[in-house]
Amino acid sequence: VAAKQALALDAVRPDQHFTEPPPRFTEASLVKRMEELGIGRPSTYASILSVLRERTYVTMDKSRFVPEDKGRLVTAFLESFFTRYVEYDFTAALEEQLDEISAGK
């Protein structure tokens, strides 16, 4: 296509497309994602999932996590006032430093 070149219109179709949101996390998929991001350790995964439910940040629907208003509010607050500390990179780096300390480095 060159500048000022006329284009031919083949057809106009009134198609409507909807995107699907990603599926909600299950316990297994959330742990897998946390592993990929370097967040938590195998010894802490179960307690992290328990805290999410116990504090009613989430509920479970058909074995999938559904965020509650309380969870959304806490997330918004932390992201607004403690951005650095809730970033994935910060958490992963902290976990790595703790591993080095426990290894005696």
pLDDT digits (tens, 9 = 90+) for 25-64: 999 999 999 999 988 888 999 999 999 999 999 999 999 9
Residue 1 scores a pLDDT above 80: no
Q: What percent of the chain has pLDDT over 70?
A: 100
pLDDT score, position 13: 86
Which tokens in the block code for residue 45?
């995964």
Residue ranges of domains in the chain: 27-102
Give the torsion sign (CA, 50, 55, 57, 61): positive
Helix (H/G/I), strand (E/B), else coil: 64: strand
- Interior angle at CA 33, CA 67 and CA 27, nearest 5: 55
pLDDT value of position 75: 96
CATH (one of 2.40.50.100, 3.20.20.70, 3.40.50.300, 1.10.460.10) for 27-102:
1.10.460.10
Reported as a pLDDT band with limits 50, 70 and 90, residue 66 is very high
Which residue from 97, 94, 96, 73 is spatially nearest to 84, judged by alpha carbons? 94
Give the span between the Cα atoms of 85 and 80, in whole angstroms: 11
Comparing 49 with 94, the larger pLDDT belongs to 49
For residue 104, what pLDDT is reported?
87
